[in-house]
């Protein structure tokens, strides 16, 4: 049987983890990275994978395109993928807090028959939340708790002294849209919860730095006509990037596997 093909946008910590776990029967054929990373990525991947800076260079049709490139990468390449009518599974969901980008990707997919799949990423429960929305939701709160190392290099450094915290400290409380825009590498899940539930402005987000944890912990509380649920997921970060949970990479692997499966769970 010929292998189904995958294109990956971005090849950082998550992309590499996904590549390692790609199910047999699927081949990573194209990787899209910024110009500055082309040489290093070619050296890592060898001849079997075509490394490019633009989706336009690809002359075939991938069975699935996965984005592991950060919000800027989704903004740069998402439109071109969807305009071709391809399927695009994304993790940098916070980019969709930008209404103009959301509209552009939505319209490109609608015109071409392409599909934008918002992956659950580092959290669970998005199916239940989206189902609950059908009956009406009253409130949705999302809280993330991570170690200081996971918040380094982010806007958190301007809000709290990451070297001095001695106990769990909330340093941001606001809307999902605001969180996704201010913490592009750390609060994509806030946008995912918002898209599944009450939207960017009506989803409350709390971000905490916890000096005593090595996990990335996500808690979602939702209340509505269906009743109420609370889930807490305590994930291991990837060794190669403490901002990124292992489960987020695994959600991309799952999306890849679904290309092969006649029954989708």
Ligand X SMILES: NC(=O)C1=CN([C@@H]2O[C@H](COP(=O)(O)OP(=O)(O)OC[C@H]3O[C@@H](n4cnc5c(N)ncnc54)[C@H](OP(=O)(O)O)[C@@H]3O)[C@@H](O)[C@H]2O)C=CC1
CB 193 to ligand OAA: min, Å = 9
Would you give the distance in Å from CA 245 to the centre of its chain? 10
Interacting residues of 105 by C-beta distance below 8 A, sequence separation 6+: 78, 79, 82, 96, 116
Contact residues for ligand OAA, defined by CB under 6 A: 122, 185-189, 216, 243-245, 248
**Active-site option among 155, 218, 221, 225:** 218
Q: Which does 27 bind (CB under 5 to 8 A by kind): ligand X, ligand OAA, none?
A: none
- Indicate which single residue of 78, 114, 121, 235 sits in contact with ligand X (rule: CB under 6 A): 121
Interacting residues of 137 by C-beta distance below 8 A, sequence separation 6+: 129, 197, 198, 222, 223, 224, 225
**CA-to-CA distance for 251 and 118, rounded, in angstroms?**
10
CA-to-CA dists, residue 45 to 41, 79, 175, 188, angstroms: 6, 26, 40, 28
**CA-to-CA distance for 18 and 8, rounded, in angstroms?**
10
CB 123 to ligand OAA: min, Å = 8
Q: Which does 187 bind (CB under 5 to 8 A by kind): ligand X, ligand OAA, none?
A: ligand OAA
Residue 39 found at the interface with ligand X (CB under 6 A): no
Q: Is 122 annotated as a binding residue?
A: yes
CA-to-CA dists, residue 43 to 54, 229, 241, angstroms: 19, 47, 21
- Indicate which single residue of 80, 224, 244, 256 sits in contact with ligand X (rule: CB under 6 A): 244
Q: Which residues are near ligand X by CB under 6 A?
A: 9-15, 32-34, 36-37, 68-73, 76-77, 91-93, 121-122, 185, 188-189, 192, 241, 244-245, 248
Catalytic positions are 218
Known binding residues = 122, 188
């Amino acid at each position: 049987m010929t292998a189904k093909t995958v294109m990956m946008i971005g090849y950082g910590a998550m992309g590499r983890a996904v590549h390692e776990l790609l199910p047999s029967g699927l081949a990573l054929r194209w990787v899209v990275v910024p110009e500055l990373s082309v040489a290093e990525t070619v050296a890592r991947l060898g001849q079997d994978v075509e490394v490019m800076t633009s989706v336009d260079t690809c002359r075939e049709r991938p069975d699935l395109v996965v984005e592991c490139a950060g919000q800027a990468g989704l903004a740069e390449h998402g439109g071109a993928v969807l305009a071709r009518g391809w399927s695009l599974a994304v993790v940098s969901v916070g980019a969709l807090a930008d209404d103009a980008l959301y509209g552009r990707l939505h319209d490109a997919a609608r015109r071409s028959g392409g599909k934008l799949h918002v992956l659950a990423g580092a959290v669970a429960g998005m199916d239940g939340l989206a189902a609950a929305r059908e009956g009406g939701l009253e409130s949705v709160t999302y809280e993330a708790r991570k170690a200081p190392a996971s918040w380094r290099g982010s806007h958190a450094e301007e809000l709290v002294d990451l070297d001095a915290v001695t106990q769990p400290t909330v340093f941001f409380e606001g809307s999902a849209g605001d969180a996704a825009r201010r913490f592009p590498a750390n609060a994509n899940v806030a946008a995912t919860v918002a898209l599944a539930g009450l939207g960017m402005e009506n989803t409350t987000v709390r971000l905490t730095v916890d000096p005593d944890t090595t996990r990335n912990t996500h808690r979602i509380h939702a209340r509505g006509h269906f009743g109420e649920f609370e889930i807490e997921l305590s994930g291991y970060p990837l060794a190669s990037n403490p901002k990124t949970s292992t489960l987020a990479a695994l959600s991309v692997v799952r999306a890849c596997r679904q290309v092969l499966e006649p029954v989708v769970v």
